[in-house]
Amino acid sequence: MSTQDSHNTHNTRPNILIVDDKSENIRVLQQVLAKHYQLSCADSGLQALEIAADQCPDLILLDLMMPGLDGHAVCIRLKANPATRDIPVIFFTDSGDFRDEELGFQLGAVDYISRPVIPPIVLARIANHLSLHKSRRQLDIALQQTLMGSIHMLTDILALIHPQVFARSQRLKKKMADMTALLGIHNSWHYEAAAGLSQCGCIHLPAPLLDKLHHQQPLTVAERAQYRAHPRLAAEMLASMPHLAPCARMIGELQLLTDLPELPEMAMPEELLLQFLVSYDELRCRGYSPGDALQQLRVLYPQTLLDALEEVETVTRQTTRRVAISDLNTGMLLAKDVTTDARHNHQVLIPRKTRLSPILIRRLQHEWYSFTGGTLEIIDSPDSLFEQAEQQH
């Protein structure tokens, strides 16, 4: 058995996923919860993982004892997936073994409820955990907004002192946003903030030195030493700001391309990402073409980063335009991912560079419309231009 209640995109009630291999247990919870919540149901661990990734429910009620993937195994996979790791999980069980309860909390569950179900207690616990989860999300959003305010203040100062350095910081930030999206990096705002702030140490450098850099004029030994210090100065400035320590660490490790040692072979791509983009931008400022700059970096950086940046640059050079959802045609090529909103953790619904099919267009015009803002950015590739011309004739 597998059931899923009809989904109304305008329904503001929280969505709860019930997972249990016994239909009777599901029916009991449906009777208790149906008046208060939007419900989805799964009768196996694998189905639960699929629905959780697709719908990103607000809370999961998870049976502990199931054939195949049991509740503990499902919880482990939920917490390992960036798209589902923050969803609160409440275990339901007939077991009275405290060791099961202890393990459940260690795996990330927020509560444990024993059967038989007592409706007032179940409703109270679910309401409490949904309220806590909502408060945490609001706190995260407020924190990010506060930090972004501080970041904008620093970059505004940089724009006043030296517009060319500010322009570089904005290039790096845009490239970082594109790269983290393409690489699927979770919590990417830290990386974007680090990229946008990576040049703020230049606030301490004299204007003549920055002018020399902008016009690609040679620096004296003393000037070069000053310029080498700007990442350290930025890191020291940011280290005192709450919650920007990860950004400060990334920036403090930056080096000029000519000073780079061999990078550690076992380093994860995201650990090298900011240095990679700074090195690439340095070469582009020297007059290298995108292809030649990437070729120069092949001996230093993993192929994953090189391929991702090559794709980002290819898309950047393509002409794009915004098209109303009502005007979408089969075969159009998406320039950006179509994602859910912050409430659903920005889950990707349609990846960028996907050609639109009639089914995808129908979903965009109906159940996914609220996520689009009414328009999408479309790549004007030769194929899509040809298709438009055919349709006009």
Lowest-pLDDT range of 8-12, 38-42, 182-186, 263-267: 8-12
Q: Does 59 or 392 have the greater pLDDT score?
A: 59
Q: Looking at the predicted structure, is the pLDDT value of residue 325 above 50?
A: yes
**Residue 393: pLDDT above 80?**
no
The mean pLDDT value for 108-120 works out to 89
DSSP readout, 177-238?
Answer: HHHHHHHT-SSTHHHHHHHHHTTGGGGGS-HHHHHHHHTTPPPPHHHHHHHHTHHHHHHHHH
Q: Which tens digits make up the pLDDT trace of 118-154? A: 999 999 999 999 998 888 777 666 666 666 677 777 7
For range 258-281, the mean pLDDT: 80
Q: What confidence tier does 199 reach under pLDDT thresholds 50, 70, 90?
A: very high
- Residue 283 backbone phi and psi in degrees, to 5: -65, -40
The interaxial angle of helices 189-197 and 245-252, nearest 10 deg, is: 50
Q: Residue 9 has what pLDDT?
A: 39
Q: State mean pLDDT over 254-282.
A: 82
CATH number for domain 15-117, candidates 3.30.300.30, 3.40.50.2300, 3.50.50.60, 1.20.120.10 = 3.40.50.2300
Distance CA(87)–CA(90), nearest Å, equals 10
Q: What is the pLDDT of residue 350?
A: 85
Of 158 and 374, the one with more pLDDT: 374
- Identify which has the larger pLDDT, 42 or 379: 42
Strand (E) or helix (H) holding 112: strand 111-114
What average pLDDT score do residues 202-224 get? Answer: 87
For the cut 90, the answer to whether the pLDDT of residue 161 exceeds it is no
Distance CA 371, CA 385 (A): 26
Distance CA 329, CA 336 (A): 16
Long-range contacts of 238-241 (CB under 8 A, 24+ apart): 238/197, 238/200, 241/147, 241/150
Residue with tokens 């609001």: 138
| pLDDT of 240 | 75
Total Cβ atoms within 10 A of residue 224: 15
Give me the pLDDT at residue 384, please: 39
Given a cut of 50, is residue 162 above it in pLDDT? yes
Taking 70 as the threshold, does the pLDDT of residue 40 lie above it?
yes
Tokens at 63, concatenated? 């049976």
Do 320-392 and 144-317 have the same topology in CATH? no
Residue from 57, 54, 64 nearest 11 by CA: 57
What is the reported pLDDT for 381?
53
Does position 266 have pLDDT exceeding 60, yes or no?
A: no
Q: What is the DSSP letter of 371?
A: G
42 has which bridge partners? 19
Query: What does the radius of gyration of the chain's CA atoms come to, in whole angstroms?
Result: 25
| Mean pLDDT value across the chain | 84
- Per-residue pLDDT, averaged over 48-56, amounts to 91
In the predicted model, is pLDDT for residue 38 greater than 70?
A: yes
Better-predicted residue by pLDDT, 305 or 258: 305
Quick one: pLDDT at residue 166?
A: 84
Mean pLDDT: which of 156-160, 216-220, 236-240, 243-247 is highest?
216-220
CATH topology classification for 320-392: Molybdopterin biosynthesis moea protein, domain 2 (3.90.105)
Lowest mean pLDDT among 122-131, 175-184, 288-297, 309-318: 309-318
pLDDT for residue 146: 67
> What is the mean pLDDT of the segment spanning 105-124?
90
For 144-317, give the CATH class: mainly alpha
Q: For 241-254, b where at least 16 C-beta lie within 10 A, e where not — what string?
A: eeebeebbebbbeb
Cα end-to-end distance, the chain, whole Å: 50
* pLDDT tens for each residue of 225-257: 999 999 999 998 888 777 788 889 999 999 988
Which of 23-27, 108-112, 383-387 shows the lowest per-residue confidence on average (mean pLDDT)?
Answer: 383-387
In contact, 187 and 270? CB cutoff 8 Å: no
Residues contacting residue 185 through CB under 8 Å, at least 6 positions apart: 179, 191, 270, 273
Is the previous residue joined to 116 through a cis bond, with omega within 30 degrees of 0? Answer: yes
- Domain ranges, ordered by start, for the chain: 15-117, 144-317, 320-392
pLDDT at 388 over 50: no
